[in-house]
Amino acid sequence: MKGFDLDKILEILNVLVRRGPSTPYEVYKESRLTLATAYRYVRKALDLGYVREDYGLIELTLKGLLLLALHDNKDAIYLLSRYLGFNEDIIIKMIEEFRKRINISNLDGLRIVDIKDLLHYLMDNNEDASSLVRQFKDTPLEPLVAYLIIHAFPTVTLNDGTKIVISDSGVLAVACARGLRNCPLNNGHYTKYLNRNDGLIYRLQCTFDCMRAEGILVLILKDGSFQECENSPYKFSKVTLKYYGTQDRDKTYKA
């Protein structure tokens, strides 16, 4: 960071991750900084988006948590795990990927406001969503990447609450509402694909093995709407994308 000391920013953030929302004076009392330095660096952290102020209290932002996690702060990794709804081992894998792509000594110019921004920094330059899906399919980060895609792109919501993101290459990500009991990935009482916050199962290019035997089709139109092909519009083993142009063309993908 130019013009100031990164370690002093980290000192401020370390106090906040331990204490939670605090006044600038409380941050000073818990830090190793002088009063003037603590106040100055609280202001720097506010200006750079690492913290925000709410009714006189200073609290960490997602960007602040990410900076701490990139410096191996276990409390920040735990809070990111709670915020995103996945186990800490998945968050650690995410941080490892960020280290390959981000200069952790100079985060001040990066825009990290919400979880949609996390997806951007997992993508290589000029990479599209389909390439990202292929890169992380069947890796420890699959559920997290699926979660980020579901929250970043327009979704089709089926009658049972399942959400899917589709593209010209087929199904990109699924947030399945059928639950662990119906998921073939369930290993006893837990699957890594389950998000603890919303109870949905997140997959990339899901094969819908739990529904395949039912042989149900759903027609998903280009405008994002869908219609049933059988009596149950929310159960499906294939997705048909229909295109409208000079000639009508149907493409069917195994989801």
For residues 99 and 114, state if they share a domain. yes
User: Do residues 84 and 162 both lie within one domain?
Assistant: no
Q: Is 181 exposed, middle or buried (0-12, 13-18, 19+ CB in 10 A)?
A: exposed
pLDDT of amino acid 2: 53
Section 72-96 average pLDDT: 95
Residue where a domain terminates, one of 58, 92, 122: 122
Are 170 and 231 in the same domain?
yes
92: CATH: 1.10.10.10
Mean pLDDT of the chain: 79
Verify that 161 and 100 share a domain, yes or no.
no
Cβ atoms of 173 and 179 within 8 Å: the answer is no
Both tokens of residue 31? 């830090």
Burial label, 18 (beta-carbon count in 10 A; 0-12, 13-18, 19+): exposed
Give the count of beta carbons closer than 10 Å to the beta carbon of residue 24.
Answer: 19
Judgement on whether residues 99 and 134 belong to the same structural domain of the protein: no
Confidence of residue 232 (pLDDT cuts 50, 70, 90): very low
Residue 80 pLDDT more than 90?
yes
Same domain for 140 and 73: no
Are 1 and 41 in the same domain? Answer: yes
CB atoms within 10 A of CB 229: 14
Helices and strands in the chain, H and E counts? 10, 10
pLDDT at position 105: 67
Q: Per the structure, how many domains does the chain have?
A: 2
- Looking at residue 144, what is its pLDDT? 96
Same domain, 141 and 230: yes
Q: Most distant CA pair in the chain: distance in Å?
A: 72
Maximum mean pLDDT: which of 54-58, 126-130, 231-235: 54-58
pLDDT of residue 209: 63
| pLDDT level of residue 35 (50, 70, 90 thresholds) | very high
188 pLDDT band, cuts 50/70/90, is low
- Say if residues 129 and 137 touch (Cβ distance below 8 Å): no
Domain boundary residue among 122, 141, 173?
122
- How far apart CA 86 and CA 172 sit, in angstroms, is 20
Range of the domain at 24: 1-122
**CB-based burial label for 98 (10 Å; 0-12, 13-18, 19+):** middle
Residues 50 and 86 in one domain: yes
Band the pLDDT of 123: cuts 50, 70, 90.
confident
Closest residue by Cα to residue 202 from 85, 82, 66: 85
| pTM, entire model | 0.79
Amino acid making up residue 26: E
pLDDT at 219: 52
Residue 147, class by beta-carbon neighbours within 10 Å (0-12 exposed, 13-18 middle, 19+ buried)? buried
Alpha helices by DSSP H, 71-128: 74-84, 88-101, 115-122
Is a pLDDT exceeding 90 seen at residue 225?
no
Q: Is the model more confident about 187 or about 82?
A: 82
**Residues 111 and 136 both lie in one domain:** no
Residues 141 and 101 reside in one and the same domain: no
Helix/strand/coil percentages in the chain, nearest 5: 40, 20, 40
Closest C-alpha to 148, from 112, 183, 184? 112
Q: Which of 88, 122, 156 is the last residue of a domain?
A: 122
Q: Report the distance separating Cα 8 and Cα 5, nearest Å.
A: 5
Residues whose CB falls within 8 Å of the CB of residue 18, separated by 6 or more in sequence, listed in order: 30, 75
Is the domain of 101 the same as that of 193? no
Q: What's the rounded mean pLDDT across residues 149-178?
A: 84
Buried/exposed 27-36: b ≥16 CB within 10 Å, e otherwise:
bbebbebeee
pLDDT of residue 58: 96
